[in-house]
């Protein structure tokens, strides 16, 4: 049987240095002293007979050989984590820690509804939530840093497996007194032509979905781009323009900002909220169970849109 002159711990140290591009910060991340981490990385390089990093006063660079070998090291660490996770299934799959990501346009509006239900249903399950944009979450899942994430299916999810949680229709948000506030019929896309629209910053999948819906209608995007939906709705409330909101955000955002909400004419734009995870993950069965609980919780909650693309309701806060 072949033996190896390096350990999983050394692989973790090497990947940490590559991620942080610093031996000092990698040592802090791994909770070891810098001399200890540096010595273990050097042993790893000696075992492979290859230099993984170039070190000088300006910092750390990954060598050409390091680029390939560190990518393989990541895969080994993911497989090692899968081995431990697979063993957990034979004990109690819902007595563990799950690391779940969530995009910013879902987290503040869904988590307050579902986290208490998850805690009650699975009292021995520990959930660690991480909020970030779609690209970062998908990358973290593939690297093994997250087990799953709440995402919009319409975004680029690479090859993640998933379970549908809810369908979240979009609605139109305008400032009180705006011309689009008038009328009882749903607002058509043609009526949005020439309107000044406020959007989220680049990198938010919701921005891309709104742009896709509005394409061809000659909307005028304002120079200001919000980093969050609360900022976006406050700008709309101030009269700066109009925007589209996911219906799941309406109860919260109309509570803290003076907005008029109008439904949109069919076909109503929407996004599909899913729980996504890496294909062949040993946690797949556990994640499907958690996803089913998330969906059932939202379906029972009258304050959260039901999973139908036409379920948004109009309303105005005075």
The residue extents of the domains of the chain are: 8-88, 97-166+272-300, 167-270
* 15 and 70 Cβ atoms separated by less than 8 Å: yes
291-316 exposure pattern, b = at least 16 Cβ within 10 A, e = fewer: bebbbebbeeeeebbbbebebbeeee
pLDDT in tens, 111-138: 999 999 999 999 989 999 999 999 999 9
Count CB neighbours of 248 within 10 A.
Answer: 23
Give me the pLDDT at residue 289, please: 95
Encoded tokens for 40 = 């273990």
Domains 97-166+272-300 and 167-270 equal at CATH topology level: yes
Give me the pLDDT at residue 158, please: 87
Report whether pLDDT(305) > 50.
Answer: no
Residue 308: which pLDDT band, with cuts at 50, 70 and 90? Answer: very low
CATH architecture for segment(s) 8-88:
Orthogonal Bundle (1.10)
Nearest to 41 by CA among 3, 73, 64: 73
Report whether pLDDT(89) > 80.
Answer: no
Distance separating alpha carbons of residues 298 and 168, to the nearest angstrom: 11
Q: Give the pairing type, strands 315-316 and 97-102.
A: unpaired
Phi and psi torsions of 265, nearest 5°: -70, 155
Calculate the average pLDDT of the chain: 88
Task: Using a pLDDT cut of 90, give the percent of the chain over it.
Answer: 65
Distance separating alpha carbons of residues 264 and 223, to the nearest angstrom: 24
CA distances from 307 to 155, 192, 301 (A): 18, 26, 11
Encoded tokens for 152 = 């919009």
Three-state DSSP at 156 gives coil
Count CB neighbours of 249 within 10 A.
Answer: 24
Encoded tokens for 202 = 């680049």
Nearest to 179 by CA among 258, 255, 250, 260: 260
Q: State pTM to two decimals.
A: 0.73
Report whether pLDDT(213) > 50.
Answer: yes
Report whether pLDDT(14) > 70.
Answer: yes
Domain 167-270 annotated CATH 1.10.274.30: no
What topology is assigned to 97-166+272-300 in CATH? D-Maltodextrin-Binding Protein; domain 2 (3.40.190)
* 105 and 244 Cβ atoms separated by less than 8 Å: no
Report whether pLDDT(264) > 90.
Answer: yes
Q: Running DSSP on this structure, what letter comes out for residue 172?
A: E
Distance separating alpha carbons of residues 281 and 93, to the nearest angstrom: 13
User: Strand runs (DSSP E) across the chain, as ranges?
Assistant: 53-56, 59-62, 97-102, 126-131, 148-152, 161-174, 196-200, 220-226, 243-246, 260-262, 270-277, 315-316
């Amino acid at each position: 049987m072949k033996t190896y002159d390096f350990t999983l711990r050394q692989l973790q140290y090497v990947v940490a240095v590559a991620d942080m591009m610093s031996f000092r910060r990698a040592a802090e991340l791994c909770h070891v002293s810098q001399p200890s981490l540096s010595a273990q990385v050097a042993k790893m390089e000696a075992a492979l007979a290859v230099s993984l990093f170039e070190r000088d006063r300006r910092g750390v660079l990954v060598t050409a050989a390091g680029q390939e070998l560190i990518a393989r090291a990541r895969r080994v660490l993911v497989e090692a984590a899968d081995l431990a996770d697979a063993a957990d299934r034979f004990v109690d799959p819902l007595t563990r820690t799950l690391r779940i990501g969530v995009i910013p346009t879902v987290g503040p509006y869904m988590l307050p509804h579902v986290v208490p239900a998850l805690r009650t249903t699975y009292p021995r399950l520990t959930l660690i939530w991480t909020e970030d944009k779609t690209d970062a979450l998908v990358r973290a899942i593939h690297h093994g840093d997250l087990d799953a994430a709440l995402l919009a299916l319409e975004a680029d999810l690479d090859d993640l497996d998933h379970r549908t949680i809810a369908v979240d229709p979009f609605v139109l948000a305008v400032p009180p007194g705006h011309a689009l506030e008038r009328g009882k019929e749903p607002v058509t896309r043609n009526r949005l032509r020439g309107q000044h629209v406020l959007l989220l910053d680049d990198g938010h999948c919701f921005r891309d979905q709104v742009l896709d819906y509005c394409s061809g209608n000659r909307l005028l995007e304002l120079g200001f781009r919000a980093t969050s939906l609360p900022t976006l709705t406050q700008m709309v409330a101030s009269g700066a323009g109009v925007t589209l909101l996911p219906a799941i955000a309406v109860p919260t955002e109309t509570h803290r900002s003076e907005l008029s909400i109008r439904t949109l004419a069919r076909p109503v734009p929407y996004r599909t909220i899913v729980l996504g995870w890496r294909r062949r993950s040993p946690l797949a069965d556990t994640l499907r169970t958690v996803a089913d609980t998330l969906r059932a919780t939202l379906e029972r909650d009258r304050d959260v849109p039901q999973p139908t693309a036409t379920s948004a309701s109009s309303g105005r806060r005075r």
